[in-house]
Structure 1
Amino acid sequence: MFRLLSIEFHKLKYNRASKVLSIIYFGLLTSIALIAAIKFEFGNFKLHLAEAGIFNFPYIWHFNTFIAAILKFFLLLVIVSMMSNEYSYKTLKQNLIDGLSKKEFILSKFYTVIAFSLISTVFVFVVSLILGFFYSDYNEFSIIFSDLEYLLAFFIKLLGFFSFGLFLGILIKRSAFAVAGMLVWFIGESIFKGYLYWSFRGEKIPSEKVDSIMQFLPLEAMSNLIKEPFSKLGAIRSAANTMGEAFTKSYDVEFLTILIVLFWTFIFIFSSYKLLEKRDL
């Protein structure tokens, strides 16, 4: 494992674009702290996000993982360019000539995906912990380390997303087209979701039937791992209650969703191996 990882990181070390994108990504993760400085003023209404409780334990785990997950596209570019460079610079062929099997080659890429996902998760954990100690009103040990399942969901979300990117990189061979392929898939899922709403328009609660079908699609499943945290804030709920609205939404990380994303991760990696195995290099 470590031998395969060292090969991949050696390649990334001399890839300037990958280094720049990685620095930007982790820089943006750090910049989550800047949210604390955001203030809104509308007449007599004043809102300071840090004081609104977004960095309170344990809510911070939910909020920060949701925000950090939006930034995953920067590392996606690293993953797909990492694969396209193998074809462009013919390092894939050279690795196989030097004795690396196709299985080991795919494993080296998958180990890199795991490493990026794990490093990102640890990074978000550290940043969140520091912000929480600065801004949280609750610092009891039991509160600080509750709801850590959002970090697990974040790791699995990145793992599935980057595995999808790796598969597209192998399938399409060009990073720009691979990213475009991801966008086309997202649009396809969105169109299918719209079609389902149209099909169930006569039902009493069409959204439940639509969600029960859409949850099995890869990008939708990844999205469902960490649901939006904003309506969970006390200020938002209070405002909704004054307007007669009640929230019944579940924000839990669901075990079924984890299994679905892990299943798709396996499919993407296995398909990548089979594709490489059959392809004439």
Structure 2
Amino acid sequence: IPRYFLMCLGYMSFGFLLGVWIRRTGIALFLYFSYVMFLELILRWVVHLKLFEHKTMQFYPLNAIEDLVPIPISDVAESFEKQFDFNFFLSPGEAVIASSIYISLFLFLAYRLLERKDL
């Protein structure tokens, strides 16, 4: 339950940052969903599969946040890990630390934006 709470807090803090930064509801929602579904995946593919392979591809903000709660079909990923010697998921400790850092960063940036902008 604590990791699920941290995951929800991470998604909400990222959405809050985008909402404060953009201030237009439709554009902020579009940017949020496009980042979650497309932009982070494309960025990981371009940077880590085309330029260099490294474990840092697992530490992108929303990937680290979604690795807090295990998925039900993790046996497929475990068989892939055994076959290709590559792990898709962060360990729970790594995910908690990375997510806490990202949540703090998102909230700090949103606070700084709120201080500077006149709402």
Q: Judge same fold: TM > 0.5, yes or no.
A: yes
Pairing of 1:21-100 with structure 2 (within 5 A): none
Seen in structure 2, the aligned counterparts of structure 1 residues 275 and 221 have a Cα distance that, compared at 3 Å, is: same
**What is the letter of the counterpart of residue 276 of structure 1?**
L
Q: 2:34 aligns with which of 160, 184, 199?
A: 184
More helix by share: 2
Maintained 8 Å contact 1:153/1:253:
no
Larger RCO (alpha carbons 8 Å, 6+ apart): 2
Seen in structure 2, the aligned counterparts of structure 1 residues 247 and 261 have a Cα distance that, compared at 3 Å, is: closer
Maintained 8 Å contact 1:215/1:257:
no
User: Where in structure 1 are there 5+ consecutive unaligned residues?
Assistant: 1-150, 201-205, 237-244
Superposed displacement of residue 175, structure 1: 2.2
1:213 aligns with 2:65: no
User: Where in structure 2 are there 5+ consecutive unaligned residues?
Assistant: none
Seen in structure 2, the aligned counterparts of structure 1 residues 227 and 279 have a Cα distance that, compared at 3 Å, is: same
**TM-score (norm: length of structure 1):** 0.35
Superposed displacement of residue 276, structure 1: 1.0
Q: Distance in 2 between matches of 1:162 and 1:252?
A: 21
Q: Distance in 1 between matches of 2:70 and 2:43?
A: 20
Structure 1 residue ranges (4+ consecutive) displaced by more than 6 angstroms after TM superposition:
249-252
- Determine which structure has more spread, i.e. the larger CA radius of gyration: 1
Q: Distance in 1 between matches of 2:71 and 2:111?
A: 34
1:169 aligns with 2:22: no
Seen in structure 2, the aligned counterparts of structure 1 residues 276 and 213 have a Cα distance that, compared at 3 Å, is: same
Maintained 8 Å contact 1:193/1:214:
yes
Seen in structure 2, the aligned counterparts of structure 1 residues 278 and 225 have a Cα distance that, compared at 3 Å, is: same
Maintained 8 Å contact 1:159/1:265:
yes
Identity %: 28
